[in-house]
Amino acid sequence: MAIQLRHAMSNKALIKKLKNAYQSCSDCGDKYGVYSVGCSSVWEGKCDVCGETKPVTEARDYGYFITGIRKLTLEDNAAKSNSQTKVEQG
């Protein structure tokens, strides 16, 4: 149960980071979002998701990471549901 709780906490922190991100590198963008434009401006900067300095673009170019946020939220909900079921079966 402690492992699931730690996993849920890291998902919550990541969700918050994704929601607050203004710029992202392509690695994080591809991992947590969907590239939604044909062409975007890119500059050298610090990725608000991974923290690395590399070429970045605006989060809107990756759909504001809604795909990744939804996936992480579903994982959190599934983990909560599983832990509640285990407690009830207890």
The DSSP symbol for 65 reads G
Residue 36: inside a domain, yes or no?
Answer: yes
Do 56 and 42 contact (CB within 8 A), yes or no?
yes
Residue 87: inside a domain, yes or no?
Answer: no
Residue 68: inside a domain, yes or no?
Answer: yes
Residue 33: inside a domain, yes or no?
Answer: yes
Residues 6+ apart with CB under 8 A from 20: 48
How many Cβ atoms sit within 10 Å of the Cβ of residue 49? Answer: 25
pLDDT tens string 20-78:
999 999 999 999 999 989 899 999 999 999 999 999 999 999 999 999 999 999 998 98
Do 72 and 14 contact (CB within 8 A), yes or no?
yes
Domain that residue 57 falls in: 2-82
Residue 29: inside a domain, yes or no?
Answer: yes
The DSSP symbol for 90 reads -
How many Cβ atoms sit within 10 Å of the Cβ of residue 64? Answer: 18
Number of domains in the chain: 1
Residue 88: inside a domain, yes or no?
Answer: no
